Amino acid sequence: MHQQMETTIKTEEQKKEYNQILDNYNDEYWAKKYGVTAEELKQAANNISITAKIIAANIKNNTFAV
């Protein structure tokens, strides 16, 4: 049981590390592609996310003004 817990912990740590490396790679790739900094890219993504949430809420509540 103890060994299984250690293996699970290592696996989770490895997954987190892998995901962080992948996220960093993706940030660098897309920032370079669009000629922006990674921070600018994250801010734009955040703005898009907020906009998408507003649209989803309006659709759900059917509150679009015509």
pTM above 0.75, yes or no: no
In which element (H, E) is residue 35 found?
Answer: none
Residue 17 corresponds to which tokens in the numbers above? 């590390």
Q: Where exactly are the structural domains of the chain?
A: 37-61
Q: pLDDT tens, 1-54?
A: 556 666 666 788 889 999 999 999 998 998 899 899 988 988 888 888 888 888
Q: What torsion, rounded to 10 degrees, do the Cα atoms 37, 21, 19, 28 define?
A: 20
10 Å Cβ neighbour count for 31?
A: 16
Dihedral sign computed on CA atoms, order 5, 21, 51, 59? negative
DSSP 46: H
